[in-house]
Amino acid sequence: MTALDLAGPVAVVGTGTMGQGIAQVALLAGHLVRLYDTAPGRAREAAGAIGARIDRLVEKNRLTAADGDAARARLLPAEHLTDLADCALVVEAVLEELGAKQELFRALEDIVGEDCLLATNTSSLSVTAVGGALRNPGRLVGLHFFNPAPLLPLVEVVSGYATDVSSATRAYETARAWGKTPVACADTPGFIVNRIARPFYAEAFAVYEAQGAEPATIDAVLRECGGFRMGAFELTDLIGQDVNESVTHSVWRSFFHDVRFTPSLAQRRLVESGRLGRKSGQGWYDYREGAEPAEPHTAEPRPAPAYVVAEGDLGPASELLALIREAGVQVREDEEDHGTRLVLPGGGQLTLADGQTSVEFRDVVYFDLAFDYRKATRIALSTSQDTSAQTLSEAIGLFQALGKDVSVIGDVPGMIVARTVARIVDLAHDAVAKGVATEEDIDTAMRLGVNYPLGPFEWSRRLGRTWACSLLDDLHERDPSGRYAPSLALYRHSYATEKREGAS
């Protein structure tokens, strides 16, 4: 058995934003769709809202008038749960509360046929626990859509501990037949996206809590240097601080308070104050009428240095050498190759973020990792109180000569983009080693689910397979809490690569 036959009715229980979105997806795939909600009249209201969205698709010529009429005719509100008896698939999108979901599926088990596939759209609960209340948990699977479901292509197909392979396959093929991009995932806290995305938020908040930079600067660096669609602060304001923090807490508790998933105290205070983001008018940023937009720190113009001395090829930042030459700054090669850095005319050094701090060295400025140094419009620099004014000025002037805005942050080991990417890569390797998902599915999930510029394994291949482990080792030495300790999976991957390269 593969995808659902188009003649098979699909039911959606729960008619909030997500439930309506899933119903619309199934409807436009050709199914008869039944909507059910425990609140009287809610299903009819939801059907009307979906019908209005279909009308707008027709108005925009994304759907023919005939197809729109046919879709509305297939959408039927259900007055009673028993009206779902003939459905081939029931998707639950109710309150994220384990007892409520279990109660619903127990009731459905007595109503629907033996071959009906049951699916939960939970984003934070255990699929195994939801199915644990059923007589036949093998037919329950997770179908985690992303909001808005009609627009976002990703669906995480989650197999609980007791889910039958045939049920997971049927759900996977159904999602694909609906025009979605499914990825297969084991039942683990946060599944793929919400597990591996935690560092994107956590590291930004950590830099802020360490007073390394303010939210507007961190967000600008993540966008304009890291290539991410949105920064962590603006994204959590959009999601809702309460919602984002709730997912973080859920993953943290589910991993038995693993320090790698520790929630942010700064975000907790934001939630406690009622500043939940856009929906409340204030979050990390102020969205009230008349509020001044927050601006990132941008350094004043400085003169470019006449030359730099290149020691080594700069590793993942090697394309900078060509950009520097194109900008008219002379690049002198040091044949003795003391490392991978640039030496400025005043004797100071410019080094790619590596997990160490500027204060440990004499007159060093660190620069952050960029997704694409040619396309990046902003670069972050990190200094300590011991960095000379001349060295900082020459470093700023060099990147400004390349056409970049420059943000100077505090002496933050691993800076902003580099530490974030390294931790995402680490969690991805750990997930594969523990059977959560394949490398390909993880890369797909992170690109489509949260719009990352690259998947974690694509990052790893681009940066060098030992890069993340080396940076995290340095970070762990400076923060031995365990938060930055490389996973055993990443360590093995890096060590095996070093051995192969050494043997060759």
Is 144 among the catalytic positions?
Answer: yes
Catalytic residue among 123, 124, 167, 460: 123
DSSP letter for 81, please.
G
Known catalytic residue: 194? yes
d(CA 291, CA 296): 16
CA dihedral 63, 64, 70, 71 (to 10 degrees): 10
Tokens of 207: 């830099």
CA-to-CA distance for 140 and 108, rounded, in angstroms? 11
Per the residue annotation, which of 109, 156, 203, 311 is the catalytic one?
156
Q: H or E element: which one contains 118?
A: strand 117-120
* Greatest alpha-carbon span in the chain: 80
User: Which one, of 76, 189, 181, lies nearest residue 434 by Cα?
Assistant: 189
CA distance linking residue 367 with residue 351, whole number of Å: 6
Q: Which of 31, 92, 109, 144 is catalytic?
A: 144
147 is catalytic: no
> How many Cα atoms are found within 13 Å in the side-chain-facing hemisphere of 14?
22
Give the separation between CA 108 and CA 130, rounded to whole angstroms: 13
Residue from 194, 264, 382, 407 carrying the catalytic annotation: 194
Q: Is 432 exposed, middle or buried, given 0-12, 13-18 or 19+ CB atoms closer than 10 A?
A: middle
Question: Which position has the token pair 């384990």?
Answer: 98
User: DSSP code of 377?
Assistant: S
Give the end-to-end CA distance of the chain in Å, rounded to a whole number. Answer: 49
The continuous run of DSSP H or E covering 381 comes out as strand 378-382
**Sequence-ordered list of residues with C-beta below 8 angstroms from that of 224, at least 6 positions apart, any chain:** 376, 377, 378, 405
- Phi–psi pair at 121, nearest 5 degrees: -95, 20
Q: How far apart are CA 435 and CA 381, in angstroms?
A: 38
Q: Which two tokens stand for residue 149?
A: 């479901």
Distances (CA, A) of 319 to 77, 246, 366: 59, 41, 17
Q: Residue 502 contacts by C-beta under 8 Å, 6 or more apart in sequence?
A: none
Catalytic residue numbers, as ranges: 123, 144, 156, 194
